[in-house]
């Protein structure tokens, strides 16, 4: 199992060295010496827990915590405040801001390990419950709720980092006819096999696919190049075709095929998850209108706006 990630935020190098000595064997550690760096690292790496010093120059721990809890991408990360015994700290203020605990200096290594371990285990349990409620029961891949949430996060990340994002809206060609003639049991098996093929074809760790509804799937490809998204789309189309699921009632082919609408963009302030999905869906519609079993790339949105 991969190590859980802990972000340690402290402006004093000696304290960072101490935390490293206490936690580095059990966790993957990230470090920041000020608030702005902490916010950037948290957004880039999404740590499992943050150890946050209260008293820092310029931006103190309370302000960092407040900004984290206002960010939809970061707000669920547990924060433990770290403070010295001789500091006058309003603990209730930190807890109201969303922190889950306090650790006091000088450090007791055993106490730190136990508290970090306990809170990470609690987060893991919450994540598992969330996973159970966000997995499509038939196919075992993320459901509509989960893929919508993932989309929201990835669009916000792309906006913050000025990075690209790619979407693939995938629809099984003439699936209703397949269900009508082969039965719903065969239809369910078909959906499951296609979901497995799609998920197995996405090789990058950040890429994801979910069942968007009925016979539709949505793939999210963060930080992909334009030629990369077309390459992946063709791999997915061919992976489904290569399953060789016979469909004698399809006017497109004698086997199950898919149509794909592709979108590649670097989101701007006017973009959100809904508008990007709608653009990919329009491209999917064009694939269907053009004969199915093909890929259509959505027009460049920025060029369209300049017309």
Active site residues: 215
Which residue, among 257, 243, 23, has the nearest Cα to 119 in the 3D structure? 23
- Name the token pair of 287: 């694939």
β-pair type (165-172, 216-222): antiparallel
DSSP string for 150-186: HHHHHHHHHHHHT--EEEEEEEETTHHHHHHHH-HHH
Secondary structure class of 255 (helix, strand, coil):
strand
β-pair type (79-84, 101-105): parallel
Which residue, among 150, 243, 245, 141, has the nearest Cα to 199 in the 3D structure? 141
Which residue, among 200, 204, 198, 140, has the nearest Cα to 169 in the 3D structure? 198
Please answer whether residues 61 and 9 qualify as being in contact, where contact means their C-beta atoms are separated by less than 8 angstroms. Answer: yes
- CB within 8 A of 27, min separation 6: which ones? 3, 4, 5, 6, 116, 120
- CB within 8 A of 38, min separation 6: which ones? 7, 9, 32, 50, 52, 64
């Amino acid at each position: 199992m991969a190590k859980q990630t802990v972000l340690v935020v402290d402006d004093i190098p000696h304290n960072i060295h101490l935390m490293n000595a206490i936690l580095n064997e059990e966790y993957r550690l990230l470090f920041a010496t000020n608030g702005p760096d902490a916010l950037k690292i948290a957004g880039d790496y999404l740590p499992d827990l943050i150890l946050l010093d209260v008293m820092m120059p310029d931006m103190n721990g309370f302000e960092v915590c407040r900004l984290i809890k206002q960010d939809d991408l970061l707000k669920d990360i547990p924060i433990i405040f770290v403070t010295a015994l001789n500091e006058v700290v309003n603990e209730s203020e930190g807890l109201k801001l969303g922190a889950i605990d306090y650790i006091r200096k000088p450090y007791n290594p055993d106490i730190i390990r136990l508290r970090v371990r306990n809170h990470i285990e609690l987060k893991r349990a919450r994540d598992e419950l969330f996973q159970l409620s966000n997995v499509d029961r038939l196919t075992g891949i993320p459901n509509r709720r989960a893929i919508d949430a993932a989309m929201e996060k990835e669009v916000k990340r792309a906006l913050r980092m000025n990075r690209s994002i790619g979407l693939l809206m995938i629809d099984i060609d003439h699936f209703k006819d397949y269900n009508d003639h082969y039965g719903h049991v065969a239809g369910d098996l078909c959906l499951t096999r296609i979901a497995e093929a799609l998920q197995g074809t996405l090789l990058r760790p950040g890429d994801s696919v979910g069942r968007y509804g009925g016979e539709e799937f949505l793939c999210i490809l963060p930080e992909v190049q334009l030629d990369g998204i077309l390459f992946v789309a063709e791999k997915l189309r061919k992976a489904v075709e290569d399953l060789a699921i016979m469909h004698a009632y399809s006017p497109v082919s004698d086997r199950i095929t898919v149509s794909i609408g592709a979108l590649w963009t670097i989101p701007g302030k006017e973009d959100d998850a809904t508008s990007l999905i709608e653009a990919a869906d329009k491209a999917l519609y064009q694939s269907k209108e053009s004969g199915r079993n093909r890929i259509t790339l959505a027009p460049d949105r920025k060029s369209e706006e300049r017309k």
